[in-house]
Structure 1
Amino acid sequence: MAKENPAEPGEPSPPVAGNKKEHKHLHLLSFLNGSAENSWKKVEDKFRQQVGDGKLSRDKFGACIGLNEDSTYFAHELFDVLSRRNNVEPEKGITLQQLKVFWEELDKDDLDTRLEIFFDLCDKNDDNKISKKEVETVLKWTASANKLTSIEKQIESYASMIVKELDPDGNGFIEIEHLKLVIRELWNPEETKMLQNQDVSTSNFVRETKEIINDNRKRIWVLILWLAINLGLFLWKFMEYKEKETFKLMGYCIGSAKGSAEILKFNMGLILFLVCRGTLTTLRSTFLSSIFPFDDHISFHVVVGVAISLATFVHMIMHLGCGFPILSTCLSDKLKEILGPSFESKQAGYCDLLLSVPGVTGILMVVIMAYSFTLAIPSLRKSEKKLQESFHHLIGFNAFWYAHHLLFLVYVLLILHGYFQSLAWDWLNRTTWVYVAFPLVLYAMERLNISFNEQKHEVKVKKAVVYNRNALVALYLTKPEGFKYESGMYLFVKCKDISKFQWHPFSITSAPGDDYLSLHILNQGDWTSELMNRFGKACSAEDEMKRGGIVRQERTNDLRSSDKYPHILIKGPYGAPAQNYKNYDILLLIGLGIGATPMISILKDLLNHVKTNAPQNTEKNSSCSNKTPKVPKRAYFYWVTKTQESFEWFKGIMNDVAEYDNGKEKVIEMNNHLSCMQKEGDPRSVFITILQNIQTEKDIISGSRIRARYGRPDWKKVFTDLKTKHKDCNIGVFYCGKSPHRPFADLCRNYSDGSTKFHFHHENF
């Protein structure tokens, strides 16, 4: 459902305040990061590692001062400029002392000096003029450093646009004084001063503890209840066997084995119930949702799986390493006296015990569970581990899916294992079926219902859009009659042409009021890869622009030719955390990469209300009522992606927001961030900012009417602004992305104060 270097794009930025040396202009034409003293020591170490006491070449300069490979072109140009300014012959390389001179010049806290260096970067022939050809050169290393493929394709036209804008006299070149003036106007010194970190008190341990407990109260009490049940079952069974004759022979071995077996049986039933999605979706719409954290059912499913593994391990060790050796070596008379009815008065050897029904079924269960649980490890399930091509099919989602369905055999073996156990003489003690019967029946009913009604689940593909060389496919499907859902929900998709059995979950990106269903599926596994290939072959070039998210210049197919597409089935919808968005006055929606999908459905739903002029949209956005609104009054959407091409995915909704939500009291605020770009004011992004200000009809980065921003958001500033702007409000924070959600949960807790509360929800990615 919704999947970065050098860091995840949405991860909160590290603290920047507190240094004694505080630059006057934040980021503005700053060539270096960090304090000069600390950073120079690292640069000096790198110099000695690379060349020892020799000279540093032009090719190694960028890596030495901390620039990444994407900025190699820029590093070469910077090296040449600094060499010219210091009368150094660049082809001979530079010494450590010369490198320090370069470093100190780059680190000067003087905007005029930085402007001069930047102008020299542009003015390659030192004639104090920047020609169109030189602007093209700058745009080349700008596009390379920021991974902007669209700029690379239109460098000549963009260069002409910049020269025309910055050459008011029509001389055919840009003068340094005019460039300085433009840069100063674009970055007001008051706006570029370093942002002071907000002081959030962390000294009140009691207050923080209370907030953590309050935020996780449902999780905590359910976890405590679950642990108590497990402990109670273990102690109950242990004490029961302690009173039996068997305990005299086998001691703590039998007590521990039976106690762990009881934990195993309980959790084998529970883990199955946690994947009965239809039942859970129904329950989450009742009062029980205020008691149980239904949104965490998959996370709890994993926790229960760990408990099953531990209980299985203890049970196995107690029998194989303790119980079986005792039984196989016990004196015959003593064995007959205590266990006669169970072993028909015969001495059993170790192999006899292993080859018994409980022994064989137990070993088979361990083997199947070990195989299935291993393939469920995230790095193997997502194919993050790279194996040789001939073995690669052994991991990935397909392998995980089929292995997980082998666990059906485990339930059969578990019932047999419990029924034929050697140390229980009456059916009352053979209780395995009691624990697993109801979950098995419930799960079977859901699966049978899906199988019998499979024809009803088939939908037609109205349109398909394949993006970025099979990186993502957007599917626009017919909406089945009676299919009702809420924004934020997800459904399962099956493509019978790929697999007749596999269902895969994807967030719904259309709004409930739309007459179609839309899904955006990222290519990130074996099944999705095959889906991309099939839809890629079915699609042909189409340049027509269409409103509502279906965009131009993509490989699409005609609506009347839907029979050419692979056959798609759906089941659902199922509940997810994002559907709680209507419980809040103000929304902060955070999506990283494909994690934006559940948020897009919410935005479309809000936009539909804007289009119909809903009465609540005329209220003042900064104030909040005590009653729960049917529609939030304001939504702030932050989408952070690491590739420029990703903006094509949701260009339609961006343009719709710009067109329809443009009144005095805007409901939706869109903030698109490209994490691969250098920060605003960086020398490598100056001309991009100039271009964005020149071309106002369409943003040159996102290709939409919503302007893209550079780098990751300053999340502390985002939360501070929201807290200031929306006092006495309940603010719902919804997050979906690959980065850990913990930093955002901490921000919500730290910035909740008085009557302004941030309530955090996150999707299982």
Structure 2
Amino acid sequence: MEFSDEKKVKENPAECLLESIEIDHMVADEKTSELRDLNQSDWKQSNCNGDMKKTAVETSQSFVGMRRRRKGFNMLRFLEGSIAGKEEEAWKAIEKRFRQLAPDGKLSRDKFGACIGMKKDTTDFAGELYDVLARRREIMAAKGITLQELRAFWDDLTKEDLDSRLRIFFDLCDKNGDGKISREEVKTVLEWSASANKLNNLEKESETFVSLIMEELDPDRNGFIEIEHMEILVRGMWSSEEEKRLQKQYSKLPASPILGICNTPAFLKETEEVIMTNWKRIWVLTLWVAINLGLFVWKFMEYREKGAFKVMGYCVCVAKGAAETLKFNMALILFLVCRGTLTKLRSTFLSSIFPFDDNINFHMLVAVAISVGTFLHATMHLTCDFPRLTSCSNNKFMAILGPNFDFKQPSYPDLVASVPGVTGILMIIIMSFCFTLATPLFRKRKDKLPPLLQHLAGFNAFWYAHHLLVLCYALLILHGYFIFLAQDWYKRTTWMYIAVPVLIYVIERLVIKFYEFYHQVNVIKGVVYNGNVLALYLTKPPGFVYKSGTYLFIKCPDISNFEWHPFSITSAPSDDYLSVHIRALGDWTEALRNKFKEVCEPETKKRKGGIARLETKTYSDYVPSESSKKYPQIFIKGPYGAPAQSYEKYDILLLIGLGIGATPMISILKDLLNHIKQSDSHTNDAPKVPKRAYFYWVTKEQASFDWFKGVMDDVAEYDHDKIIEMHNHLSCMHEEGDARSVLITMLQQIQKSRGEEVDVVSGSRIRTHFARPNWEKVFEELASRHKGSQIGVFYCGPYTLVKELRGHCQNFSDSSRSTRFRFHKENF
């Protein structure tokens, strides 16, 4: 398309500001930046004068050519990260490190990796690379290399062509330098690669996989591999992937550029997205702040007009204003932990206007407000009101405040020792203790505390300390009832504020206690996995109805009669059992794992991939027998609502789990699978389910894949319409294309070409990806695939990733196309 209407352009030059050529950037690596560079260089603003002759197809062709010239960078890398196009800049940094590490002008073998920017744990690989490069250059490097020789090494490592890089990799495998890779050398490199990527199970099965590689790369059965055979596999391995990526990349380009609209200021777009994403939080926080301010001002002005103001001044106004906010917040903070009530409210229309998912975060915010209010109230009384009361002339005191104090002017000790004084001080002590033990330092960073304080840290200390707040509420009622300046009972309003939340909380606790025996469950099966994970399969109590994404509490009387711990339910609502997966991270969970480990038996059947685990015996009829009575007794309470249960509101799902954080997502996947099976059986009453679900599971241990292997295999077996797309990422592995993981990728490719469905890394039918996902790329691809959709993003894992995911949700939401990413974070 050409723009020939120059008259219109001259009359409205603002219309010629191109926001961008309509290109969907599918990936967030150097390909994206190269395409953007081409976009900027090929389409200048001067094109608004009618010079726009180049088509987007030509742009894509030049882009493809550049990608092919740089193919070697993506196929095979020996360096950490990508330095494509920045080789000289990187070399300057290497020169600087060389002078620091080699003051005598000779860089030793053990410092080579650090000099070229490799991590500390890659010393062995760097040493092997050093030897190969020296052998190729015929350099006697036993005593070190000079800067000039280091530059030669660097040139070899950064050459763009694949042939050069493949030759280096071949030499890495060819330990004796005879130009052939023997079976023993293949085994050595495979074991070294498995060790570098922390693949213990692969290392144990090395003989099997060595035979697989030799069968594929030694077709003539010579007993060795030649570089030609390896090159064919490597080129074929990446060419198909590369072509797919390129096809995605330039298939989105229009046949001609499209004139964009004027740029919207970035801060306005960001503000709009923040408001649209967080409108529930914003209005609720605004309402909460307004109520607190209203209560403070109301009580402040009330006491401004009272006689007490003449004695104590503005100090009593501030103290009473703060006290009024304390009454409200002490009621609210209790209601926010009434899980049963909140779970029921989630199922009503109120969930569309109130952010019930944020109840724990709001609970902590209200706790901060209580701390501020308590500080103001206590400080005003102890440092201002009490001194003024005791120092006031007796005549003035009797005339104004005599009736409130039975016509006896108190001393400072009298005020402190009074019922309001004692109860107030006790409340401050209890709340300070509870607040301190609830901080992240004490609750989750026990190891960073001095040894003497470590006994007061951890979940147990936090849990038991919070139960002291029952005493705090009793003291609060006494404190409010015996205040000096209010004589009429209806003006002593503390009990009025907290009556309803206390009643709801007490009823919930009594109901739980009443149904505790009813919710005693039998253990169907227990599995202890490597990685300190315990899977429990339990009988489902009658009437126990729940949604995927919810959680329950578990108590084991054999460990403690008082401790309840929350865990996501991993079974689907339609399953006739309950399951949870528990990672041993604290005293209680470790004790529970050990209890079941004592009664578990080693699995009699060896599993593919060398994964070992312990299991209890399975009782298919769910009736406890004499032998099953040895299992620890388990009680449950719940279910309780969680953010993930709102997944049904979306047509498109992005489920993200880190490590054991996959548990609520597994329940959702199982539910989707059950619906898929129902649809396959041609039932007409199958409920509506999301159209697509993308699951990203990131774990750092290979053994973790065994936790949910059955679910992954079921997805591959039954999901013929590809409703569920699973992406397993092993973060301990080096990225695909890295020389340390190339052999693993080869194994995956060989198995795929032979029609074998089981992945060599995960032991399931879902392929494992290396390293962490590129989240920008993930969101970019979803935004491109599902324009105009409401996409639910559900995340369970550490808070370290929350900021990044929230940012991508905002950045890739497009109001003009009604594409929205809605972020939900699991909280317990």
Matches within 5 A, 1:572-721: 572-613=638-679, 630-661=688-719, 663=720, 665-695=721-751, 696-721=756-781
Q: Is the 8 A contact 2:446 2:457 kept in 1?
A: no
- The code of the aligned residue for 1:530 comes to A
Q: Distance in 2 between matches of 1:328 and 1:14?
A: 73
Q: Distance in 2 between matches of 1:293 and 1:614?
A: 37
3-state SS in 2 of match to 1:580: helix
Q: Is the 8 A contact 1:543 1:554 kept in 2?
A: no
3-state SS in 2 of match to 1:518: strand
**Could you tell me which of 523, 534, 540 is aligned with 1:461?**
523
Number of equivalenced pairs: 739
Deviates more, 1:427-436 or 1:680-689: 427-436
In structure 2, the CA distance between the partners of 1:322 and 1:55, relative to structure 1 (3 Å rule), is: farther
Q: Distance in 1 between matches of 2:740 and 2:245?
A: 17
Q: Is the 8 A contact 2:447 2:454 kept in 1?
A: no
Q: CA deviation at 1:53?
A: 4.1
In structure 2, the CA distance between the partners of 1:617 and 1:62, relative to structure 1 (3 Å rule), is: farther
Q: CA deviation at 1:88?
A: 3.3
In structure 2, the CA distance between the partners of 1:539 and 1:368, relative to structure 1 (3 Å rule), is: same
Alignment pair present for 1:527 and 2:585 = no
Q: Distance in 2 between matches of 1:272 and 1:283?
A: 16
Alignment pair present for 1:281 and 2:343 = yes
Q: Is the 8 A contact 1:678 1:685 kept in 2?
A: yes
- The code of the aligned residue for 2:823 comes to F
Q: Distance in 1 between matches of 2:277 and 2:365?
A: 20
Q: CA deviation at 1:184?
A: 0.9
**Could you tell me which of 125, 133, 150 is aligned with 1:82?**
133
Alignment pair present for 1:93 and 2:144 = yes
Matches within 5 A, 1:231-242: 231-242=293-304
Structure-1 residue corresponding to 2:426: 364
Alignment pair present for 1:763 and 2:826 = yes
Q: Distance in 1 between matches of 2:600 and 2:452?
A: 30
Q: CA deviation at 1:194?
A: 13
In structure 2, the CA distance between the partners of 1:544 and 1:140, relative to structure 1 (3 Å rule), is: closer
Q: CA deviation at 1:552?
A: 7.6
Q: Distance in 1 between matches of 2:731 and 2:333?
A: 39
Q: Distance in 2 between matches of 1:433 and 1:48?
A: 74
What 5-or-longer segments of structure 1 have no aligned partner? 1-11, 619-627
Matches within 5 A, 1:82-481: 82-188=133-239, 189-190=242-243, 203-387=265-449, 391-468=453-530, 471-481=532-542
Deviates more, 1:380-389 or 1:458-467: 380-389
Deviates more, 1:529-538 or 1:480-489: 529-538
- The code of the aligned residue for 1:166 comes to L
1:216-275 deviation digits (Å, cap 9, x = unpaired) = 221111111111000000000100110012112222211111111111110000000011
3-state SS in 2 of match to 1:462: strand
Q: Distance in 1 between matches of 2:74 and 2:403?
A: 83
Q: Is the 8 A contact 1:328 1:348 kept in 2?
A: yes
Deviates more, 1:114-123 or 1:89-98: 89-98
Aligned-CA RMSD value: 2.8
Structure-2 residue corresponding to 1:623: none
Q: Distance in 2 between matches of 1:196 and 1:95?
A: 43
- Tell me: higher relative CO, structure 1 or 2? Use CA pairs within 8 A at least 6 residues apart: 1
Q: CA deviation at 1:47?
A: 3.9
Q: Is the 8 A contact 1:542 1:552 kept in 2?
A: no
Q: Distance in 2 between matches of 1:606 and 1:210?
A: 33
In structure 2, the CA distance between the partners of 1:433 and 1:57, relative to structure 1 (3 Å rule), is: same
1:306-326 deviation digits (Å, cap 9, x = unpaired) = 111111111122122222232
- The code of the aligned residue for 2:273 comes to E
Q: Is the 8 A contact 1:585 1:731 kept in 2?
A: yes
Percent identity, please.
Answer: 61
Q: Distance in 1 between matches of 2:748 and 2:33?
A: 33
- The code of the aligned residue for 1:29 comes to L
Deviates more, 1:189-198 or 1:717-726: 189-198
In structure 2, the CA distance between the partners of 1:244 and 1:193, relative to structure 1 (3 Å rule), is: same
Q: Distance in 1 between matches of 2:115 and 2:248?
A: 29
**Could you tell me which of 76, 100, 108 is aligned with 1:29?**
76
Q: Distance in 2 between matches of 1:514 and 1:602?
A: 12
Q: CA deviation at 1:534?
A: 1.3
3-state SS in 1 of match to 2:74: coil
Q: Is the 8 A contact 1:583 1:629 kept in 2?
A: no
3-state SS in 2 of match to 1:113: helix
Structure-2 residue corresponding to 1:502: 563
Q: Distance in 1 between matches of 2:672 and 2:247?
A: 35
Structure-1 residue corresponding to 2:618: 559
Structure-2 residue corresponding to 1:540: 601
3-state SS in 2 of match to 1:673: strand
Matches within 5 A, 1:34-73: 34=83, 35-53=86-104, 55-73=106-124
In structure 2, the CA distance between the partners of 1:416 and 1:45, relative to structure 1 (3 Å rule), is: farther
Q: Is the 8 A contact 1:674 1:709 kept in 2?
A: yes
Q: Distance in 2 between matches of 1:381 and 1:441?
A: 29
Q: Is the 8 A contact 1:267 1:308 kept in 2?
A: yes
- The code of the aligned residue for 2:178 comes to D
In structure 2, the CA distance between the partners of 1:615 and 1:294, relative to structure 1 (3 Å rule), is: farther
Structure-1 residue corresponding to 2:3: none
**Normalising by the residue count of structure 2, what TM-score does the alignment of the two structures yield?**
0.84
Q: Distance in 2 between matches of 1:54 and 1:526?
A: 54
Q: Distance in 2 between matches of 1:354 and 1:99?
A: 77
1:626-667 deviation digits (Å, cap 9, x = unpaired) = xx9711222221111111111111011111111222x2x222
Q: Distance in 2 between matches of 1:487 and 1:167?
A: 50
Q: Distance in 1 between matches of 2:546 and 2:30?
A: 41
- The code of the aligned residue for 1:574 comes to Y
Q: CA deviation at 1:685?
A: 0.7
In structure 2, the CA distance between the partners of 1:404 and 1:41, relative to structure 1 (3 Å rule), is: farther
In structure 2, the CA distance between the partners of 1:386 and 1:497, relative to structure 1 (3 Å rule), is: farther
3-state SS in 2 of match to 1:559: coil
What 5-or-longer segments of structure 2 have no aligned partner? 1-26, 38-65, 254-259, 620-626
Q: Is the 8 A contact 1:582 1:629 kept in 2?
A: no
Q: Distance in 2 between matches of 1:641 and 1:234?
A: 49
Alignment pair present for 1:570 and 2:636 = yes
3-state SS in 2 of match to 1:455: coil
